[in-house]
Chains A and B, each alone.
Chain A
Amino acid sequence: MEFFGKIGSSVEGSLAYVGSLTSLAGRAAYFTFVGPFQGKPLRFQRAVSQAMEAGVRALPILSLITFFIGLILALQAAYELKRFGAISFVASAVALSMTRELGPLITAVIVIGRSGSAFAAEIGTMKVSEEIDALETMAINPVSFLVAPKFVAMLLMLPCLTIWANFMGILGGSLFGVAQADFTFPRYIIASLDALFMRDVLTGLVKSFMFGATITAVGCLEGLNTTGGAEQVGRSTTRAVVMSIFLVILVDLVFTMLFYFLGEH
């Protein structure tokens, strides 16, 4: 009996967590889309600086990692394809797995490490040093001031980063293609593009959009839930990273299943 009680309370806890994530995202959406029409202008400047930090500054490391991932994918695919004499399919294998799955996912993981953790640390530090309280006493809504610009930045930047990651992955694959599979560089790129349908790219982008919302909501919520002192900020940051990775994979699963069953018809 106690066992079921435990299951019940942990399910309840998880649902409550998802509920508060949704509520935070909802309030951020209100300040982004409804607020500007009610005389509460969006803090555009803050959104731009967040987009620079979360997006543009992530480019070097993202490029390097996704280039390697593309190369690894090509090597792994070729290992199997070679046995069937189908090594020329390496281009389409890399292109499909990058755009449909690994591009969005790897981008999300890098952004969690760079920005999701930073959101939790920034807001958590502000919470423990009474800065969030200070905003409230100044009649400035913390969600509107801190969270909404982050949402805008992430929802715009994650799909952009994902497109870039897809491109870099294909580029990484081409290195193997040219060196080992008798492709010329232009032919490799053409083979990759031929393998892709618009649908593949779009499903990846829809996922990355959802990942952006998830990462921001978790990072900001963990920050806002910080109580106590500096050591709690560290704990919030860790929780934000672990939770984000878990939820991003969960969202990924849900959407991949959705696309799979929708694609059947």
Chain B
Amino acid sequence: MAASADIFGADSSFDGPMISLRDLRVSYTGREILHGINFDVQRGETLVILGGSGSGKSTLLRTLVGLEKPTSGEVWIRGKNFSSISEAERDEIRKRLGMSFQGGALFGSMTVGENVALPLEEHTKLEPTTVEIMVRLKLDQVGLSGFENFLPSQLSGGMKKRAAVARALAMDPEILFFDEPSAGLDPIIAAGIDQLILELKRAFRMTIIVVTHELASAFLIADRMVLINKGDVVALGTTEEMKNSKHPKVRQFLDRIPEPAVAQELD
């Protein structure tokens, strides 16, 4: 594959796995949350991280984008060890990642347009008129044309999520992360977000990582799934493999079987 450069002058010809986790361990205040996670994510693949509340799936996502530091093990993103490189190199990689937070995390004091424009203004030398056009394109892509001048507080939950996706897309990322994309949304709006993710995957061959516990949505968008339980990978496979899995934890999660006793939930 010939080396190519995108509009930000960055080389996008990396061929290996986009993400590799090697025995990743993460602790909060002395308590280990993730106990040695291993998996790879290939370019263009959509991986859904499944798991119950408190399983460590959100911590895993936060570690992938560099918001948490691993206590041991390695996170490789585009062939670079995320935890051992300099702050400047880390920032270079972060410019190629897009993250859509659970609550949107839009900046409340800025309009939707300014939110989407922010990464472009910070990291590129594009003219203001060009930035304006790009903002319009990104908002168009998520179905929010004409909402540039709205404040986040004037948007509904689903629109906020879409605006957050537009901001995550601003820098044309190679890897897009979603934290609970359909949490708190009604089924119709949630389905719309699923469609948006599928479109991004189809049109841009983006690598997409989604953390969710919505099974219907997970099976619709995933190429592969990984089930996390109490900080361990329980199962990893394609949607078909997961559907047919005999693993008790996978069956329990997919068939929505409650824990036998509350006491077990508390340990």
Give the B-binding residues of A (Cβ under 8 A): 122, 125-126, 129-131, 133-134, 136-140
Contacts and interface: CB of A to CB of B under 8 A. Distances in A.
Contacts, number: 49
Contact of B94 (A122, A130, A131, A137): A137
B108 interface: yes
Contacts of A133: 62, 67, 101, 105
B123 interface: yes
Given A133-B101, A134-B99, A134-B101, A140 B107 contact: no
Interface residues of B, number: 23
A66 to B, nearest CB: 30
The secondary structure that dominates the A interface is: helix
Closest 3 pairs between A and B when the two form their complex, measured CB to CB: A139-B91, A139-B94, A130-B105
B109 to A, nearest CB: 8
A139 B95 contact: yes
Interface of B: 62, 65-67, 90-92, 94-95, 97, 99, 101-103, 105-109, 118-119, 122-123
Contacts of A139: 90-92, 94-95, 119, 122-123
A137 B103 contact: no
A79 B65 CA distance: 67
Contacts of A131: 105-108
Nearest to B119: A138
A129 B91 contact: no
B123 A137 contact: no
Nearest to B177: A137
Contact of B99 (A122, A129, A137, A140): A137
B75 to A, nearest CB: 14
Contacts of B97: 137
A133 B91 CA distance: 13
Contact of A134 (B66, B91, B95, B105): B105
A222 B126 CA distance: 36
B135 to A, nearest CB: 15
A101 to B, nearest CB: 36
A34 B162 CA distance: 37
A167 B91 CA distance: 48
Contacts of A137: 65-67, 94, 97, 99
B119 A129 contact: no
Nearest to A128: B103
A130 B66 contact: no
B122 A140 contact: yes
Given A125-B108, A133-B67, A140 B118 contact: yes
Given A134-B99, A136-B67, A129 B94 contact: no
A1 B39 CA distance: 52
A256 B12 CA distance: 60
A139 B173 CA distance: 13
